[in-house]
Amino acid sequence: MDPLDVMANIERATPYYQAIFSADAQEVIGYEVLGRFQMENGDVISLGPFFRDKNVPSEYLLEVDKIIIQKALNYFTEQNCMLKVFINQSADLLLEDQGESLLELLLTYVPKGLRLDNIVIELDGLSSKEENEHLHHIFSYYKTYGIQISVANIGDAGGNMDKIGRLSPNIIKVNLEILRQSYEVAAHQDILHSLAVLSRKIGATLLYERMEASFQLQYAWRNGGRYYQGYYLHKPSPVFIENDFAKKVLKEKFQQFIRYEKRKLQAIHQFTARLQNLIQPLLPKKIEMEELDEWLLSIAEKISEISFRMYVCDENGFQLSSNMVKDEDCWTAIESSIGKNWSWRPYFLEHVMKMSMERKGILSDIYSDIDTGETVRTYSCLITEGKFLYIDIAYNYLYENQDLL
């Protein structure tokens, strides 16, 4: 699209609205305002390429942006809509005048019924450290008016997480499109999981966007997503929809997801109980450190079906035994592991305390093994006072028992 054609027919620039749904009420909580342009033949095309074109002068972008926002706010106030309004802004445009022109425009609609605490300014991507410091000041000023901040285009770059933390947005918008890519899916899932953890720590709401399939909705539901957006639920339109537009499909999908998760949790509970019953009779009442390798070899045959490695640590995470590792059907002691410390691992000491107090074994979450890179779980339990057994579950076994993955 020629930018001059847009400017010559700027009255054809118009807002479209894509609904955003909540997990808790399964209803529309707001709309993202998207720029569209009506062609002479009646077709409506996205203005996304226009706004992303680095050759378009900033004054053109600001003028078209203002037209779209004005039309959108007119529609919101005419409809007496009390839902959230998500307004896209680029860092460059905001920094042109430190966000003053946008704020002035929003304030003119307050007498018409616009509530500033329903406005969400959506930053499209992140900038350099210096620019982010300026943006932080702008956002802090906006927040004094009740305006909320969202950071978008997150999910494909894990290195942005420190920048997100400094900006402290109200909403983190995660792009689910990467889950449709067949390569490096596991790495992307780790990044998305890290974003879910970060959002909880800084008190931000997770909004998953570009949702085009049921499995993406399931991922968002499982990973802390409160808000959902995408063609799977609603395609952008020039008018608002009923608040319960997707309520039926969301309720049905949530019930499916809940049944699936309950089945997985039951399988994990049963597997943990089975290991507990298998290992308990094999635990010695007392054992010296120099006897640990021999004892591990004596129980290896019992767990050969499920495990590829086992070892013993003390309550502070120092390894007391060799790594007993299975190669084919043969178990070998790797003595170089003796003395290593694993207390730095997430939840290690927490699990040690829990095992000591409750006298029950624990099955870990799924994680990637440092040595093999494979997906594993670890079962651990108290042997005798101050000594703990760790059994790494082989991926092949987990794969054959899908509910454990």
How far apart CA 211 and CA 217 sit, in angstroms, is 7
Query: What pLDDT is attached to residue 185?
Result: 55
Query: What pLDDT is attached to residue 320?
Result: 98
Q: Determine the 3-state secondary structure of 308 from DSSP.
A: strand
Contacts made by residues 394-398, CB under 8 angstroms, sequence distance 24+? 394/306, 394/307, 394/308, 394/326, 397/305, 397/306, 397/307, 398/366
Query: What pLDDT is attached to residue 198?
Result: 85
Question: Which pTM value belongs to this model?
Answer: 0.88
Question: Beta-carbon neighbour count of residue 384 at 10 Å?
Answer: 12
Strand partners, 379: 363, 391
Query: What pLDDT is attached to residue 183?
Result: 47
Q: Determine the 3-state secondary structure of 394 from DSSP.
A: coil
Is the four-CA dihedral 248, 250, 254, 256 of positive or negative sign? positive
The low-confidence residues of the chain, meaning pLDDT below 50, are 182-183
How far apart CA 233 and CA 235 sit, in angstroms, is 7
Query: What pLDDT is attached to residue 324?
Result: 97
Contacts made by residues 159-165, CB under 8 angstroms, sequence distance 24+? 160/126, 161/194, 161/195, 161/198, 163/126, 163/129, 163/132, 164/126, 164/195, 164/198, 164/202, 165/198, 165/202
Q: Residue 38 is encoded by which pair of tokens?
A: 């009506």
DSSP string computed for 342-374: -TTSTTHHHHHHHHHHH---EEPPPEE-TTT--
Query: What pLDDT is attached to residue 149?
Result: 96
